[in-house]
Chains A and B, each alone.
Chain A
Amino acid sequence: MNIFIIGLNHRTAPVEIREKLAFPEKELGSPLLRLLESEEIREGMLLSTCNRTEIIAVSGGIEKALESTKAFLAKEKNLDSRGLQDYLYVHVGANAVSHLFRVASGMDSMVVGEPQILAQVKSAYSQATDVKACGIILNKLLHRTFEVAKKVRSETGIAALPVSVASVAVDLARQIFERIEGRTVLLLGAGEMVELAAQYFIDCGVTRLMIANRTRERAEALTARFGGSVIPLESVDKHLPVADIVLSSIGGLSAFIDPEPVRGAIDKRGGRPIFFIDIAVPRNVHPKVNELESAYVYDIDDLKRVADKNTQSRHRAAAQAESIIDGARVDFNRWMNTLDVVPTIRRLREWAEEIARGESEKTLRRLRDISPEQQDAIRQMARAIVNKMLHRPMMRMKDLSGGRKELYYIAAIRQLFDVNTEEGPEERREEGDGE
């Protein structure tokens, strides 16, 4: 029984290929059912985000399963399966387990530690369970995955630090204002950077935008998209008192936001702070503004410095996360190994023989006046009863091994007889084999 993952991501495939291979995020059920039609795939789930498409599956015969999964991808998307080959990665067994742990913890993401991916994995899993595509192994694996992702987040603090310029700006604003929801943002300029930042602010709950730009049409295009009002560039000073955050990115102008009007604006605001994010080069905000009380100015270099510092400490956190993931992978493999038929049968037999031995010795202690031959006969009898009783179920289990129902029988036996194979010597050996 093998877990494997076939997929591609932002590192292995360019966006044109990722687009072609993407599945609609909310409709993963029906392609998944088509995947499960192939005989070798026992359990499966499909994960598709803008940066990755992956199939996570369990199979009996790994070689065949890999082939049919690749063929499935090519067929679903009408692609040449040989051309696709170059972009795909394949992880099997322990590698597949740790890959999934890393993906869900955001360690494999474009922005390391980003939190959205966990929600996407959860949604993919719930769609897979909706079509009953997950069995014992994937259920256990995904629950472990969610635990690991949660642990990585809470123990390393990896997701807590902003690393992009826009998110640094918003996080600095969060350190100034009690909350960012409902704030007013004044945007100066209407270029691509401003547009991106505007989108980010709106996503974070900013409710009111004011936009001033040299060409009014461009500003109006932005208000059409995000809402808000257009103000003339000349009257920016007049609007400063209502702005909590000012984001400026007008190229080719010398600093036109002077300390004097800012001081007046802060007085009118009753001392409430204004946060200036100045991403223009040359700068739009006069450096002396930062010296005013309750005015904070960050230019593009300042923001980059903070982002870099955070990136460094994210890398430290990432090392910690890797060790959490490693530990979890070893645990999971140990569990996987308990699902094998052979150790289960052996432990069951050992358990039964133990009982036979114990009971016959107890009986023999009470019967003092019997010969050694008679003692042997009693021991023999106890062993024989055990062997006879176990013979048929054991044969059945061997017959079932490799079939779809195998795991359910093994799980049932372990439950019913309380057989714990985790400590067996064989498992320890196999665990050493992992990676």
Chain B
Amino acid sequence: MFFKLAQASAVLYLAAGVSVLVYLAVGRTGFIRAGRFLLIAGLLLQAGAIAGVIHFSSGGAVPSPVQQAVTFLAFAIVGLHLLFSLRYGIPGFAAPIAILAFLLTFYASFPRIATGVKVEETVGLWPHLHMILALIGLALFGFAFLAGILYLLEERRLKDKRVNPTFFRMPPLEVLDRVNTLCLMIGLPLLTLGMVTGSIWISRDAGRLWTWAPHEVFALVTWSLYVGLAFLRFYRKQRGRRAAWGAVLGFVVAVGGYFSTRLI
């Protein structure tokens, strides 16, 4: 059931992404509306998939922990985008969002062949709290990552005077920068809370708050990196191109760390 729903929502996200890309190319606003509709439909199906895992973890194929995390990440990114788009007119932004959501969801929509390793059971309050907080934080950073990439591309275009009709359909630079700030402002506290709840979870299992496990070390590296970015932005008033690079770099490290330690 999970995989069926995940596949359906992956298809919807892909369709949404294509629809918004068509809008960017030809400028027909109908494609934006279609894109939003498809995103919402995909989001609902994905919500169904997630609810299914939480409530009816019966027999049959079950997603691996990484797949669960990735599903939730896609869900959070799309949800955040829909929330943000209520406040900011950022229609063109839906294209990278939808495509990222598609890739993540697609990854999680086919059962992994059992490797003989017993899947660790993650149940209880602290593990769930830890996962949700950390993943929403990660989703926000993913959002900032996309905003950063768009910022860099658009800024390059503006500087080199290569503006074309598609350029005029993208969000303004200042909005992309604002989105980046907002994501950092909300994402960092969430990541911090995610780390705290994670430590509590570990301390219940291992009796210590910190065990120097690889993913803990990576989490610490990521966290320090984002604290550094926040410092630069809020105390050194860094913005624009450099802040965009920071957001891109931060997310690459965060995701790279997460996957390499989980997949080991």
Q: Which residues of B contact A162 (CB under 8 A)?
A: 168
B29 touching A178 by the CB < 8 A rule?
Answer: no
Q: Which residues of A contact B27 (CB under 8 A)?
A: 156-157, 160-161, 317
Q: How far is the CA of A290 from the CA of B28 in the complex (A)?
A: 33
B163 touching A157 by the CB < 8 A rule?
Answer: no
- From B26, B29, B173, B241, contact of A176 by CB (8 A): B173
Tell yes or no: A30 within 8 A of B by CB. Answer: no
Which of A46-54, A294-302, A334-342 sits within the interface? A294-302
Q: How far is the CA of A155 from the CA of B175 in the complex (A)?
A: 26
Tell yes or no: B158 within 8 A of A by CB. Answer: yes
**Smallest CB–CB gap between B26 and chain A, Å?**
7
Of A175, A176, A178, A309, most B-chain CB atoms within 10 Å: A175
Tell yes or no: B167 within 8 A of A by CB. Answer: yes
Main SS class of interface, B:
helix
Q: Known interface pairs A155-B30, A171-B168, A306-B163. Does A273 touch B175 (Cβ–Cβ under 8 Å)?
A: no
Q: How far is the CA of A270 from the CA of B237 in the complex (A)?
A: 6
CB nearest to B88 among chain A residues = A178
Binary flags per residue of A240-277, CB closer than 8 Å to B gives 1, else 0: 00000000000000000000000000000011110000
Tell yes or no: A286 within 8 A of B by CB. Answer: no
Tell yes or no: B165 within 8 A of A by CB. Answer: yes
B239 touching A296 by the CB < 8 A rule?
Answer: no
Q: Which residues of A contact B154 (CB under 8 A)?
A: 175
CB nearest to A155 among chain B residues = B28
A172 touching B158 by the CB < 8 A rule?
Answer: yes
Q: Which residues of A contact B165 (CB under 8 A)?
A: 157, 160-161, 309-310, 313
A273 touching B241 by the CB < 8 A rule?
Answer: no
**Smallest CB–CB gap between A246 and chain B, Å?**
16
Q: Known interface pairs A176-B172, A176-B173. Does A271 touch B26 (Cβ–Cβ under 8 Å)?
A: no
A271 touching B237 by the CB < 8 A rule?
Answer: yes
B158 touching A271 by the CB < 8 A rule?
Answer: no
**Smallest CB–CB gap between A411 and chain B, Å?**
33
- From B161, B175, B238, contact of A271 by CB (8 A): B238
Tell yes or no: B164 within 8 A of A by CB. Answer: yes
CB nearest to B32 among chain A residues = A154
Binary flags per residue of A151-181, CB closer than 8 Å to B gives 1, else 0: 0001111001110000000011011111000
B30 touching A270 by the CB < 8 A rule?
Answer: no
Tell yes or no: A293 within 8 A of B by CB. Answer: yes
B172 touching A272 by the CB < 8 A rule?
Answer: no
Q: Which residues of B contact A270 (CB under 8 A)?
A: 237, 239
Q: Which residues of B contact A309 (CB under 8 A)?
A: 163-165
Q: How far is the CA of A270 from the CA of B175 in the complex (A)?
A: 16
B159 touching A290 by the CB < 8 A rule?
Answer: yes
Tell yes or no: B128 within 8 A of A by CB. Answer: no
A175 touching B170 by the CB < 8 A rule?
Answer: yes
- From A296, A310, A313, contact of B158 by CB (8 A): A296
Chain B, interface size category, equals 20 to 34
Q: Which residues of B contact A298 (CB under 8 A)?
A: 161
Tell yes or no: A238 within 8 A of B by CB. Answer: no
Tell yes or no: A391 within 8 A of B by CB. Answer: no
Q: How far is the CA of A79 from the CA of B96 in the complex (A)?
A: 62
B26 touching A175 by the CB < 8 A rule?
Answer: no
**Smallest CB–CB gap between A176 and chain B, Å?**
5
Tell yes or no: A239 within 8 A of B by CB. Answer: no
Tell yes or no: A305 within 8 A of B by CB. Answer: yes
A176 touching B158 by the CB < 8 A rule?
Answer: yes
Q: Which residues of A contact B164 (CB under 8 A)?
A: 309
Q: Which residues of B contact A296 (CB under 8 A)?
A: 158-159
Tell yes or no: B240 within 8 A of A by CB. Answer: yes
Q: Which residues of A contact B241 (CB under 8 A)?
A: 293-294
Q: How far is the CA of A273 from the CA of B164 in the complex (A)?
A: 21
- From B28, B29, B163, B238, contact of A172 by CB (8 A): B163
CB nearest to A275 among chain B residues = B158
**Smallest CB–CB gap between B236 and chain A, Å?**
9
Q: Which residues of B contact A161 (CB under 8 A)?
A: 27, 165, 168
Tell yes or no: B178 within 8 A of A by CB. Answer: yes
Q: How far is the CA of A174 from the CA of B165 in the complex (A)?
A: 14
Q: Which residues of A contact B26 (CB under 8 A)?
A: 157
A177 touching B29 by the CB < 8 A rule?
Answer: no
A157 touching B172 by the CB < 8 A rule?
Answer: no
**Smallest CB–CB gap between A132 and chain B, Å?**
36
Binary flags per residue of A280-315, CB closer than 8 Å to B gives 1, else 0: 000000000010011010100010011001100100
Q: How far is the CA of A157 from the CA of B28 in the complex (A)?
A: 5
**Smallest CB–CB gap between B159 and chain A, Å?**
7
B237 touching A273 by the CB < 8 A rule?
Answer: no
Q: Which residues of A contact B163 (CB under 8 A)?
A: 172, 175, 306, 309
- Interface of chain B residues 148 through 193 with chain A (CB within 8 A): 154, 158-159, 161, 163-165, 167-170, 172-175, 178
Q: How far is the CA of A172 from the CA of B176 in the complex (A)?
A: 15
CB nearest to B30 among chain A residues = A154
A175 touching B167 by the CB < 8 A rule?
Answer: yes
Q: Which residues of B contact A155 (CB under 8 A)?
A: 28, 30
CB nearest to A160 among chain B residues = B27
CB nearest to B178 among chain A residues = A178
Q: List 29 A-B contacts (CB under 8 A).
A: A154-B28, A155-B30, A156-B28, A157-B29, A157-B165, A162-B168, A174-B172, A175-B168, A175-B172, A175-B173, A176-B158, A177-B174, A178-B172, A178-B174, A178-B178, A270-B237, A271-B237, A272-B239, A293-B241, A293-B242, A294-B240, A296-B158, A296-B159, A302-B161, A309-B163, A309-B165, A310-B165, A313-B165, A317-B27
Interface residues of B (CB under 8 A from A): 26-30, 154, 158-159, 161, 163-165, 167-170, 172-175, 178, 237-242
- State the 3 A-B residue pairs at the shortest beta-carbon distance, nearest first: A157-B27, A178-B174, A271-B239
Known: A155-B30, A177-B174, A178-B175. 6 other contacts (CB 8 A): A157-B28, A161-B165, A161-B168, A271-B238, A309-B164, A317-B27
